[in-house]
């Protein structure tokens, strides 16, 4: 074999070795079963190996911070924009220049400087017990502070990031003073001291503890899939508040490319893969979360909850106002 032929073979072998070595390290705040099937499909289609580490979002953020420049993380996937904001303000992300991502994801659902991107949309509406509450009695989230709802509302604690983001959205829309007045009245209407997760609030409503539960719709969707929870899920209906003004409060699950990502190219490829229509449809069908990409069909379960107008607030605002939201909740006595 001639020297130039040997060189070509060596180059080809090197390229093959690099292709085989292509990988991406993902720190995920989502449970493994809620994301691994899609990651496995990505690997099968691209040949890029995904090394998945799961954990609580705040713990993963702390881990990345302590690892610093030596962090193997390429991509951080997290629930709720509040946590993405924490990671961003700690300098853990880098901006990503991807026309595919900016074209696919509405501006309100991604960081203004492309530090993080929403991958699924989550909604936190009112869930009520038919026979105890008539839908015409409901209107806005603000109305839930009215004394007529005294002893009728179930919601989880103030240390929950979903509630903190909900209150932050109210501060952005109403101002801190009006939100404080709302929180003071809202807390007085709790049927019980906050405890448990979103599913527990729905179960409490089904059991007669309260007439109204505040919860994310994907929890309700998941309850329909489990025999032990299905009866409780069937006992409530979804009401979309604020449809005559700003729209219902929404949030996201999302991801950002790590500042020191050793495999940035592969991380961006994975991000872009997750906003493809087939990936967005999978999330809707399996996880009961709304697609961030317009035109992607909802699952039958999501369709059963009804169409709704969503708040168009820039979600980075929820992270910026998180500290104020916690202060408002504390002052109101929201445990």
96 in the same domain as 148 = no
Averaged pLDDT for residues 123-136? 97
* Higher pLDDT pick, 118 / 2: 118
Averaged pLDDT for residues 2-7? 48
Mean pLDDT of the chain: 93
- Confidence category of residue 245, pLDDT binned at 50, 70, 90: very high
Number of domains in the chain: 2
Model confidence pLDDT, tens digit, residues 29-63: 988 888 899 999 999 999 999 999 999 999 999 99
- Confidence category of residue 7, pLDDT binned at 50, 70, 90: very low
Q: Residue 289's closest CA among 123, 155, 156, 162? A: 123
Model confidence pLDDT, tens digit, residues 63-110: 999 999 999 999 999 988 999 999 999 999 999 999 999 999 999 999
Averaged pLDDT for residues 273-290? 92
How are beta strands 75-79 and 250-257 bridged, if at all? antiparallel
Q: Residue 267's closest CA among 16, 22, 2? A: 22
24 in the same domain as 7 = yes
Please check whether residue 198 is in contact with residue 215, taking contact to mean a CB–CB distance below 8 angstroms: yes
End-to-end CA distance of the chain: 77
149 in the same domain as 111 = no
Q: What is the pTM of this model?
A: 0.89
285 in the same domain as 328 = no
107 in the same domain as 241 = no
The pLDDT assigned to 308 comes to 97
pLDDT reading at 254 higher than 50? yes
48 in the same domain as 150 = no
184 in the same domain as 48 = no
117 in the same domain as 262 = yes
324 in the same domain as 225 = yes
The pLDDT assigned to 69 comes to 96
Domain that includes residue 229, residue range? 123-249+315-332
The pLDDT assigned to 30 comes to 84
Q: 310 in a domain, yes or no?
A: no
Record the tokens describing residue 141, joined without a space: 């989230």
What is the CATH number for 139? 3.40.190.10
49 in the same domain as 149 = no
């Amino acid at each position: 074999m001639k020297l130039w032929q040997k060189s070509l073979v060596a180059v080809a072998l090197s390229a093959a070795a690099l292709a085989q070595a292509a990988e991406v390290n993902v720190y995920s705040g989502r449970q493994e079963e809620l994301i691994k099937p899609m990651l496995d499909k990505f690997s099968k289609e691209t040949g890029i190996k995904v090394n998945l580490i799961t954990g609580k979002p705040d713990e993963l953020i702390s881990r990345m911070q302590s690892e610093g420049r030596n962090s193997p993380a390429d991509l951080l996937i997290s629930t709720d924009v509040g946590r993405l904001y924490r990671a961003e303000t700690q300098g853990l992300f880098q901006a990503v220049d991807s026309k595919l991502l900016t074209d696919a994801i509405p501006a309100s659902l991604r960081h203004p400087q492309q530090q993080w991107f929403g991958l699924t949309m989550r909604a936190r509406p009112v869930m009520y017990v038919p026979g105890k509450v008539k839908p015409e009695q409901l209107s806005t989230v603000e109305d839930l502070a009215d004394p007529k709802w005294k002893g009728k509302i179930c919601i989880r604690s103030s240390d929950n990031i979903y509630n903190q983001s909900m209150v932050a959205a109210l501060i952005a829309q109403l101002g801190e003073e009006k939100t404080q007045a709302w929180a003071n009245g809202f807390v007085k209407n709790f049927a019980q001291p906050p405890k448990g997760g979103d599913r527990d609030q729905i179960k409490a409503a089904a059991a007669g503890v309260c007439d109204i539960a505040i919860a994310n719709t994907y929890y309700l969707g998941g309850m329909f899939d489990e025999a032990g929870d299905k009866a409780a899920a069937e006992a409530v209906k979804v009401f979309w508040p604020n449809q005559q003004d700003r729209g219902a409060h929404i949030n996201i699950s999302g991801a950002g490319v790590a500042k020191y990502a050793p495999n940035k190219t592969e991380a961006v490829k994975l991000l872009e893969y997750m906003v493809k229509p087939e990936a967005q449809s999978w999330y809707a069908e399996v996880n009961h979360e709304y697609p961030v990409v317009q035109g992607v069909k909802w699952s039958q379960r999501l369709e059963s909850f009804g169409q709704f107008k969503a708040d168009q607030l820039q979600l980075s605002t929820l992270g910026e106002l998180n500290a104020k939201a916690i202060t408002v909740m504390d002052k109101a006595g929201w445990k």
